[in-house]
Amino acid sequence: MSSRNIVIFGESGVGKSSIINLLAGSQVARTSPDTKHCTLRYQAYDIHIRDVPYRIYDTAGVDGNRMDPSGFLDAVTNADKLMKELRDNGGVHLLLYCIKAGRIPPTFVTNYRLFYEFFFEEKIPVVLIVTHLEREDPMDHWYTRNKESFDRHAVKCVDHACITAAANLDPKYKQKYEASKREVKDLITRHEDTVVDWNGGDGWLARFIGNHVNSDRPKEQFASPRPLPITRQLPIIHITMAKKKNAIRAKNIVIFGAMGAGKSSLINLIADKNIAQTGSNLKRCTLTWTKYTLPKLFDDEMQYNVFDTMGIENPELEPEEYHRSIKNASRLLRELDACGGTSLLIYCVQKGRDSGALRSNYQLFHEVLYRRRVPIVMVVTCLEDERIMEEWWTRNCASLGASQIVVEGHACVTTLRNEDEKYKASREVVRQLIRNHAAVAPVSGGWKHEKIGSAFMRWIGYPDPEDKKLQNKLQKDLEGQCGMKPPLALKVAKTFTYTQR
Asked if residue 29 has pLDDT above 60, the reply is yes
**% residues pLDDT > 90 (the chain):** 29
The per-residue pLDDT for 493 is: 75
DSSP state for residue 113 in the 8-state scheme: I
**Reported pTM:** 0.56
What's the number of CA atoms in the CB half-sphere (13 Å) around residue 336?
Answer: 33
Q: Which amino acid appears at position 430 of this protein?
A: V
**If you average pLDDT over every residue of the chain, what do you get?**
75
Q: Which residues pair with 290 in a beta bridge?
A: 308
The C-alpha atoms of residue 76 and residue 225 are separated, in whole angstroms, by 8
- CB-based contacts of 498, cutoff 8 Å, min separation 6: 467, 471
The C-alpha atoms of residue 496 and residue 482 are separated, in whole angstroms, by 15
DSSP state for residue 171 in the 8-state scheme: G
Task: Tell which residue, 60, 71, 85, has the closest CA to residue 8.
Answer: 60
| Strand extents, DSSP E, 213-325 | 250-256, 289-294, 303-309
Distance of CA 255 to the CA centre of its chain: 16
Asked if residue 226 has pLDDT above 50, the reply is no
DSSP state for residue 89 in the 8-state scheme: T
Asked if residue 53 has pLDDT above 60, the reply is yes
> CA separation (Å) from 3 to 28, 93, 381?
18, 10, 57
| Strand extents, DSSP E, 184-277 | 250-256
The C-alpha atoms of residue 250 and residue 192 are separated, in whole angstroms, by 40
Asked if residue 247 has pLDDT above 60, the reply is no
Sign of the CA dihedral with 216 first, then 220, 226, and 232 last:
negative
> CA separation (Å) from 183 to 53, 137, 160, 188?
18, 15, 9, 9
- The DSSP result for 472-496, as a single string, is HHHHHHHHHHH---HHHHHHHHHHH
The per-residue pLDDT for 236 is: 31
The C-alpha atoms of residue 204 and residue 210 are separated, in whole angstroms, by 10
The C-alpha atoms of residue 117 and residue 9 are separated, in whole angstroms, by 13
DSSP state for residue 330 in the 8-state scheme: H
The per-residue pLDDT for 73 is: 56
With beta carbons less than 8 A apart as the criterion, state whether 258 and 361 touch. yes
With beta carbons less than 8 A apart as the criterion, state whether 145 and 39 touch. no
| pLDDT, greater one: 174 or 222 | 174
Q: What is the mean pLDDT of residues 471-478?
A: 78
Buried b (16+ CB within 10 A) or exposed e, 479-500: bebbebeeebbbbbbebbbeee
What is the chain's alpha carbon radius of gyration, rounded to the nearest angstrom? 24
The per-residue pLDDT for 318 is: 57
The per-residue pLDDT for 48 is: 93
> CA separation (Å) from 268 to 237, 294, 336, 350?
36, 11, 21, 16
Q: Which amino acid appears at position 309 of this protein?
A: T
Q: What is the mean pLDDT of residues 107-129?
A: 83
The C-alpha atoms of residue 92 and residue 105 are separated, in whole angstroms, by 27
The C-alpha atoms of residue 334 and residue 227 are separated, in whole angstroms, by 13
The per-residue pLDDT for 250 is: 82
Asked if residue 273 has pLDDT above 60, the reply is yes
- CB-based contacts of 317, cutoff 8 Å, min separation 6: 356
User: Reduced to 3 states, what is the DSSP secondary structure of residue 100?
Assistant: strand
Q: Which amino acid appears at position 372 of this protein?
A: R
